[in-house]
Amino acid sequence: MTSAIELAGVNKSFGSTRILEDIALSVPEGSRTVVVGSSGSGKTTLLRLISGFELPDSGTITVLGRTVAGPGIAVAAHRRGIGFVAQDGALFPHLTVGQNIAFGLGPALRGGTRKQRARAVDELLEMVSLKADFAARRPDELSGGQQQRVALARALARQPRVMLLDEPFSALDAGLRAVTRDIVAETLERAGITTVLVTHDQAEAMSFAHQLAVLRDGNLCQVGPPREVYWRPVDLFTARFLGDAVVLPATISDGFAACALGRVAVAPTGLRGDACIMLRPEQIMVEHCETGGADAGTVASCTGQVEAVDFYGPEVQLAVRLFSGGAAASPSAADAGTLVHVRQHGTIGTIVGSRVSLTARGTATAFAARP
């Protein structure tokens, strides 16, 4: 695919503090790329470099085939044809919604008739799933999600081919955040606009992105499709940052790992011998072990004991201490075993002290380092 944004060898420091180091990133045209990282990792600085609010110390930035930053080149932000939506929306409080959106219109419409401007504003409100009567409201009469959609409409008024979103959903509550995110994604998709979103929210990043870029201390750890980055992280930091991870010491041979969970298949790897493996909690199937009656024989498959239960509505997270002495071990032997955290969906009746068996599904990812 043709790249709408290209960063090559980009470095940025503030004083003696290095913020970004040798950043290389390609954003396909019409796609949504999400840069995810913890606070202070350099996410917003990266966005500001693309927008033109900051200039790199070295390296080049190309937008839509035009070099906008590089040796001897510094195209001003307002000449890059890029839309920008800040974290708080940055609406003008003294203007109505319609006036805020009209502020983003090009010179032709700003100088046109009132009817032409009103029609353009109505069309932009419709694009972000707001009714035309919102044009008469003030920003303080809107919910947080509505304000962000108005900010997007104002940015869209300039008809940009590239849109930058700086954590625009972070101030919204969980339900509103998901709804607003879906509307924004659909709007940008329909318009065919290349989008870069920065966020520290892993779930938001994976649901919004076509391409996911993980940033750590100013360095890109991994770039790829969200599923690939989630299931096949390149290192333990990425594995743990993108979600809960069960990391266990293991011995690897012939495509399998011997570990506390038994014999587990691993994704293709050149590693042999001592290593560690990573499984996502949802890969581990939990079954209760019966303790009496005709099914008492199933105790033989029991491999652990539940030490803690955290309730999250549709699922629970269990802390399970694996029996170091094997399936026939007594509960008292649990103290010496490995503790793992797993998830169980739609569960009722799983309580502390329950004896359970754990079975790993799918393949684990192997790493050279021990956890």
Over residues 179-219, the pLDDT tens digits come to 888 888 988 998 899 999 999 888 889 999 999 999 999 99
CA distances from 226 to 15, 135, 173, 186, 323 (A): 34, 37, 23, 18, 35
Task: Reduce the DSSP state of residue 204 to 3 states and report it.
Answer: helix
Average pLDDT, the chain: 86
pLDDT, tens digit, 9 for 90 and up, residues 282-313 = 899 888 775 443 333 333 345 789 999 988 88
Task: Determine the Cα–Cα distance for residues 277 and 256; give it in Å rounded to an integer.
Answer: 10
Taking alpha carbons only, the member of 104, 103, 105, 98 closest to residue 126 is 98
Q: Tell me the pTM.
A: 0.84
CATH T-level assignment (fold) for domain 3-239: Rossmann fold (3.40.50)
Domain borders along the chain are: 3-239, 286-360
Q: Are 6 and 62 in contact (CB under 8 A)?
A: yes
Q: pLDDT tier at 349 (50, 70, 90 boundaries)?
A: low
β-strand partners of 165: 85, 197
Q: pLDDT tier at 336 (50, 70, 90 boundaries)?
A: low
User: How would you label 325-363 residue by residue, b for 16+ Cβ within 10 Å and e otherwise?
Assistant: eeeebeeebbeebbebebbbeeeeeeeeebbbbbebeeb
Q: Do domains 3-239 and 286-360 have the same CATH topology?
A: no
Taking alpha carbons only, the member of 363, 364, 360, 357 closest to residue 286 is 357
* Residue labelled with tokens 């069309």: 123
Q: How many CB atoms lie within 10 A of CB 164?
A: 25
Residues in contact with 334: Cβ distance below 8 Å, sequence separation at least 6, in sequence order: 304, 305, 307, 321, 322, 323, 324
CATH number of 286-360: 2.40.50
Taking alpha carbons only, the member of 40, 87, 31, 338 closest to residue 210 is 31
